[in-house]
Amino acid sequence: MCEGIERHFPFDEFRPGQRELLAYLCHSLSGRGLALIEAPNGIGKTATVLTAMEYLSQEIGATFLYLVRTHSQIDRVLDECRRFSMIRVAALRGKRELCLNWRANRIANYHLFNKRCDELREEGKCPYFARNSQRNMERCFDPLNLGGNGCPYYGSLRTIAKGNYDVVVASYAYIMDEDLLKFVEGTLGGRRSILIDEGHNLKKAWLSNHFITIERDLLSPISHHCWKIRDLLSYFKRSRLSYVALPKRYLAASLVCEGTVPKEVRETLIWLRGEVIEAEKVFLSGEGLLLLRRPKSTLEEIFSKYESVVLISGTWGESESRGEFLVDANYRRVSLPRWGRLEAYITRDFTTRFEERSSYEYYRLATALADLSHRVFGNIGVFASSYDILQGLLDAGLEELVERPIFVERKGMRETERAYLIERYKRSWRERAILLGVQGGRNSEGEDFPGPYMSTSVIVGMQFMKPGIVRSLTLSLWRRYSRLDNPELLIACRSAAQAAARPVRSSDDLGFVVFADDRFKLCLNLFPGWLRGMTKVASLEDVPQLADEFFSSNGYLLEDARVPLDGVNSSTIPLEGRPLEKGY
């Protein structure tokens, strides 16, 4: 098995580590059980994965469910698919992403959106569902390209069901939706396997799926029509408690309103009562209602339906990662002498620990970042553990101290806004722009910044959960459905390592990384292999000088870099003279 697999590789040459990754993938996907593969970000995973899938689909008739985290990763799989000639890949995109009917897609809450979609279809009031979309049976099928004027979502389900595809690529959400998972299982014949990219987020996403938060904005219209809910919210506010557990029967009875109720409120009440009755526990907090659902099946039980399951990530931590699952897993690491020209430092004299935060400490960090911006070549990424810390840096005068373009990620930013922000940030690489973002977001985990688009990453603070009922319940679930001793530390270290990896996207990339919090010393044994041996300890004030020395000896690697944006010729990027763009 696996002999001749390299003939399916679509490129003339392998990147460092790709051959080893391909061998691991082939043996793991053709075997049985759960396998974890540690491979650095930027190694070329997508092309390598599709090579293994094409080979195994031809040799043993294997079919695959390929799960990724974001929509942009689905796009990447489809782009790489076109380099192959024998594998058939179909994308399964979300209903909301494809919905054309404003009567449904204007509803913010996904559960209510889905309910409204079902009602419109059953009542024959969705004109798009009533029409048949053109069935495009192309080898690399994307519902976004589905022709006709019918519903792209249900049209794509019909196409996938009849397309005899080898691979269905979708987001994580599909492993948590029983009906859609059954559809995929019915579509994929032969020997079924699952491969999951960025697998380190899967257990976290699966656990989060069992929390339902009903924000105060959704409860407000209900309280206008239901006096019991209005009184409950009023009593809770006066109590000044951080949270309170509610009896399910009491809350379900309180959600029965008297008199005439608007249709949308009535639909919300029906859905909410059903969720309350099904919930394991119910809490009322300052943010709204929190419902905890008991999983119908564990993640490991879902895995057991497939011949093999392979989870790839650049931030596995071997012994700790093995404990993340309730079954034993085979662990493989792509062994590279180094990954990029990387230098990383943990600050021994700075922390964002809550009791030690102050305007002076924020000013120290802002001053160090201002000095750092003069010592680097290319852009800087600053990834904080929360938006509050980002705001603390801005309040300390970062924009006035830094004479560079600054681009700020905002909470709740729409995807189109985020993409435009990142495009402008990349265009400003000659001006050494600074991106302010948070750990765990799309900019710090799902976005690539090759070459000078980001040469320096500053990780500010460890992303621990805020004290409260959500943290308590989350940790309780982790301990119930994993074998980890300290899941919170592992998750925080992983988020930091993902953000640290943004500058280093190949074996030749240059990356200077700063972990601005002395607590990161706790992560040294949890960091992936490519980062663990490269990390030292230094004073915050010494970081700019260390960066100067690093770029003075390695900056030649970036001086001649030409990494144009997709569809943008590098000659269109102005060399100098652009006005500063701050506050975005």
pLDDT tens-digit map of 500-545: 988 887 777 889 999 999 999 999 988 888 888 789 999 999 999 9
C-alpha to C-alpha distance for 533 and 516, rounded to whole angstroms: 18
Mean pLDDT in residue range 437-463? 89
Distances (CA, A) of 232 to 101, 218, 249, 276, 327: 36, 15, 14, 15, 44
Q: How many CB atoms lie within 10 A of CB 404?
A: 21
Q: Does 516 or 415 have the greater pLDDT score? A: 516
Residue 135 pLDDT: 61
Tokens for 150?
A: 């019918």
308-313 and 191-196 beta bridge pairing? parallel
C-alpha to C-alpha distance for 304 and 459, rounded to whole angstroms: 38
Mean pLDDT in residue range 556-578? 42
pLDDT tens-digit map of 75-131: 999 999 999 999 999 999 989 889 999 989 888 778 888 888 998 999 999 999 988
Q: How many CB atoms lie within 10 A of CB 217?
A: 10
CATH fit for domain 341-572, picks 3.30.450.20, 3.40.440.10, 3.10.50.30, 3.40.50.300? 3.40.50.300
Residue 579 — very low, low, confident or very high, per pLDDT cuts 50/70/90?
very low
C-alpha to C-alpha distance for 115 and 118, rounded to whole angstroms: 5
- For the cut 70, the answer to whether the pLDDT of residue 564 exceeds it is no
Tokens for 486?
A: 């300290």
Residue 485 — very low, low, confident or very high, per pLDDT cuts 50/70/90?
confident
Residue 510 pLDDT: 86
Mean pLDDT in residue range 278-306? 90
Residue 402 — very low, low, confident or very high, per pLDDT cuts 50/70/90?
very high
- For the cut 50, the answer to whether the pLDDT of residue 576 exceeds it is no
Instruction: Determine phi and psi for 67, rounding to 5 degrees.
Output: -105, 135
pLDDT tens-digit map of 20-66: 999 999 999 999 999 999 988 778 899 999 999 999 999 999 999 99
Mean pLDDT in residue range 122-143? 84
Mean pLDDT in residue range 136-149? 83
Given a contact cutoff of 8 angstroms between Cβ atoms, the answer to whether 255 and 282 are in contact is: no
- For the cut 80, the answer to whether the pLDDT of residue 207 exceeds it is yes
Given a contact cutoff of 8 angstroms between Cβ atoms, the answer to whether 442 and 284 are in contact is: no
Least confident of 131-135, 171-175, 318-322, 497-501: 131-135
- For the cut 80, the answer to whether the pLDDT of residue 136 exceeds it is no
Residue 335 pLDDT: 83
Mean pLDDT in residue range 291-298? 89
Percent of the chain topping pLDDT 90: 51
- For the cut 80, the answer to whether the pLDDT of residue 436 exceeds it is yes
- For the cut 50, the answer to whether the pLDDT of residue 442 exceeds it is yes
- For the cut 80, the answer to whether the pLDDT of residue 566 exceeds it is no
Residue 1 — very low, low, confident or very high, per pLDDT cuts 50/70/90?
confident
Least confident of 206-215, 422-431, 539-548: 206-215
Residue 560 pLDDT: 52
Q: Which of 200, 202, 205, 204 is CA-nearest to residue 494?
A: 200
Mean pLDDT in residue range 362-379? 94
C-alpha to C-alpha distance for 223 and 287, rounded to whole angstroms: 15
Q: How many CB atoms lie within 10 A of CB 235?
A: 12
Residue 568 pLDDT: 36
Given a contact cutoff of 8 angstroms between Cβ atoms, the answer to whether 137 and 163 are in contact is: yes
Owner of token pair 């309730």 = 326
Residue 96 pLDDT: 87
Equal fold, 5-203+297-333 vs 341-572: yes
- For the cut 50, the answer to whether the pLDDT of residue 567 exceeds it is no
Residue 558 pLDDT: 58
Percent of the chain topping pLDDT 70: 94
Residue 537 pLDDT: 96
- For the cut 70, the answer to whether the pLDDT of residue 575 exceeds it is no
- Please state, rounded to an integer, the average pLDDT across all residues of the chain: 87
Residue 555 pLDDT: 62
Mean pLDDT in residue range 146-154? 84
pLDDT tens-digit map of 158-168: 889 888 899 99
Instruction: Determine phi and psi for 46, rounding to 5 degrees.
Output: -60, -50
Given a contact cutoff of 8 angstroms between Cβ atoms, the answer to whether 434 and 382 are in contact is: yes
Residue 496 — very low, low, confident or very high, per pLDDT cuts 50/70/90?
very high
**5-203+297-333, CATH topology level:** Rossmann fold (3.40.50)
C-alpha to C-alpha distance for 383 and 515, rounded to whole angstroms: 10
b (16+ CB within 10 A) / e for 22-54: bbbbbbbbbeebbbbbbbbbbbbbbbbbbbbbb
Tokens for 160?
A: 């996938």
Residue 414 — very low, low, confident or very high, per pLDDT cuts 50/70/90?
confident
Domain ranges of the chain: 5-203+297-333, 211-292, 341-572
Residue 147 — very low, low, confident or very high, per pLDDT cuts 50/70/90?
confident
Residue 439 pLDDT: 94
Backbone dihedral region for residue 94 (phi beyond 0: left; psi -120 to 50: alpha; all else: beta): beta
Query: Which residue(s) pair with 508 in the sheet?
Result: none
3-state helix, strand, coil in the chain (%, to 5): 45, 15, 35
